[in-house]
Amino acid sequence: MEKELQKRILSSIIIIPLSLFFIIKGSAFFILFITILFLIACLEWFKMTKRYDFKLFGIVFLLFSFYSVYLVRDRGLFEFLLILLICISTDIGGYIFGKTFKGPKLIKISPNKTYSGVVGGFLVSIIVAYLFHAKYDNYFIVNQNFTSDLRFILEVFLISSVSQIGDLIISYFKRASNIKDTGNLFPGHGGLLDRIDGMIFVFPFIHLISKIF
């Protein structure tokens, strides 16, 4: 666990500042950034899946997903960062709590997932998002201020849930293809899809919710 954690930390030192640069710059820089990520994600998906109908469906979904990423970022930086932060903290909370407390396994398609990891993902995402929101007092989802702590918790819980479901869906396809990671782009992290598996489901969800409400 220590070696894997060290690799994750070292990779994150490079990945996070680089990603933030393109996200904060926005405009053409951000479009270039997500275009590169889209192409890498498509390549990993093609290598991972065997059935051609799944390959085609996956590419269409990824196209819509990354387009949603662009649209949400175009609405505002702080809303985008908050959503991104919820996804990342969900992943970190799940990893730390799962490795620390272990306990019963969540589901067979993802043998490393535990109930303690699910709870940890929810808790850490709520705490981190609350601190971020309290500091910057930004808007959320449909550009409305939080009216209550309950609404805040429910919205973060919902996004965290979608992120974890996305993680399980990609885990299902990895298990079906008998692979551990979607790639080896990031030492300690695996491939790109391993890192953005929750996000590629969250941003389309946020985009659709904002359109409906």
Comparing 23-32, 51-60, 169-178, 185-194, the range with the smallest average pLDDT is 185-194
Amino acid 191: pLDDT: 85
For 142, phi then psi, to 5°, come to: -115, 30
User: Which of 33, 2, 49 minimizes the C-alpha distance to 182?
Assistant: 49
Contacts 24+ apart (CB under 8 A), 171-179: 171/109, 171/110, 171/113, 171/197, 172/109, 172/110, 173/48, 173/49, 173/54, 174/48, 175/109, 175/110, 177/48, 177/49, 177/50, 179/48
pLDDT digits (tens, 9 = 90+) for 23-74: 999 999 999 999 999 999 999 999 898 888 899 999 999 999 999 999 999 9
- What's the pTM? 0.87
Amino acid 7: pLDDT: 64
In the predicted model, what is the mean pLDDT of the chain?
Answer: 86
Mean pLDDT (whole number) for 128-157: 71
Maximum mean pLDDT: which of 10-19, 123-132, 142-151? 123-132
* CA 72 – CA 70 distance, rounded (Å): 6
Q: For residues 65 and 112, which has the higher predicted lDDT (pLDDT)?
A: 65
Domain map of the chain by residue range? 2-212
DSSP SS3 for 120: helix
Q: Per-residue confidence at 142, pLDDT binned at 50, 70, 90?
A: very low
Tokens of 116: 């303690």
